[in-house]
Amino acid sequence: MRLAVGDVDVAEYVTEPEVDPLNGPRPYLHPVRTLAGVEVTDVLPEDHQWHLGVSVAMQDVNGVNLWGGRTYVRDQGYTWLDDHGRIIHAQWLAQAADSFSERLLWLGPQDETLLTETRTVAARAVPLGWELSFSYELSTIQPVTLGSPATNGRPGGAGYGGFFWRATPGPTTTFTASRTGEESVNGSDEPWVALTGPGPYTLVFRGLSDDDRWFVRTGAGGYNGVCAALAFEKTVTVTPDAPLSRSLTILVADGALTREQITA
């Protein structure tokens, strides 16, 4: 289905992707565009074929890889394991031209249900462009632990997992109100983080919760992307009495915005 802001289609949502089981099949948004039509997402890139536009995924869900690619194993590094699951669209809860809500199932290698997700996505016009709101809640009938390569021993701030936006290739910069560059922004908990890319365009991400951190790559890490990481330094457990809820907003703007424009 498509998302529109007024009469402009700004994103396409793929519910049944044709993705190799080793690449973490899951629903995703792609392409996402600015109001002027500049594409701001990438999908199935050669460097990381499990990066799927805008999606939610974790590399360790009770030991199941729902991110795709190799699994990071403590004291071994990235290793191919028979541990891949998938996330599937199960039911529409609401649909409109500018929004939708749905129920998804996070499944293990034997199609066992690990988590149930409720997701709401909407698009609206704002002064600098348009804004994507993306909310999701993970629930379970038994405790489920969410982890990342970092929680499994990988050094270097590789605590990715959760809401992830793979941006288009090309020269890119990232900054917050007080930081500039991947090395400084990655792992921070700033109220917002901006990424500017070729076009030019600017994405401004907001909405970290609890102990979440921004995981950011801007070419120096091999690709361009931003993740609101759930398990950047330590695991997170979802229980029947404590579902995990997150709500993010992303400004999608034409042009290279400045700090002053973002904070005005």
Query: Distance between CA 95 and CA 77 in Å, rounded?
Result: 42
Q: What is the pLDDT of residue 69?
A: 98
pLDDT over 70 percentage in the chain: 100
Confidence band, pLDDT 50/70/90 cuts, at residue 222: confident
Nearest Cα to 112, choosing from 144, 67, 68?
Answer: 144
CA-based nearest residue to 222, from 43, 47, 39: 47
Residues 6+ apart with CB under 8 A from 184: none
pLDDT at 219: 84
Find the helix or strand (DSSP H, E) in which 247 lies: strand 244-254
| pLDDT tens-digit readout, 143-161 | 999 999 999 999 999 999 9
Which residues, including other chains, have CB under 8 Å from residue 217's CB and lie 6 or more apart? 182, 186, 223, 224, 225, 226
In this model, does residue 221 exceed pLDDT 80?
no
Average pLDDT, the chain: 97
**pLDDT at residue 139 is higher than 90:** yes
Contact 13, 4 (CB under 8 A): no
Report residue 38 as tokens: 């500049």
Q: How confident is the model at residue 264 (pLDDT cuts 50, 70, 90)?
A: confident
Domain count, the chain: 1
Handedness of CA 46, 205, 29, 32 (dihedral sign): negative
Q: What is the helix (H) or strand (E) element at residue 79, kind and residue range?
A: strand 77-79
**pLDDT tens per residue across span 98-121:** 999 999 999 999 999 999 999 999
Beta bridge partners of 251: 131, 204
pLDDT of the residue at 141: 97
Q: What pLDDT, on the 0 to 100 scale, is given for residue 91? A: 98
CA atoms within a 13 Å half-sphere pointing along the CA-CB vector of 59: 28
pLDDT tens digits for range 157-193: 999 999 999 999 999 999 999 999 999 999 999 999 9
pLDDT at residue 255 greater than cutoff 80:
yes
Structural domain span for residue 196: 2-263
Q: What pLDDT, on the 0 to 100 scale, is given for residue 212? A: 98
Across 45-67, average pLDDT? 97
- Full strand arrangement of the beta sheet holding 162-166: 2-5, 8-14, 28-32, 54-57, 162-166, 224-229, 213-218
CA distance 31 to 39: 6
Dmax of the chain from CA atoms? 53
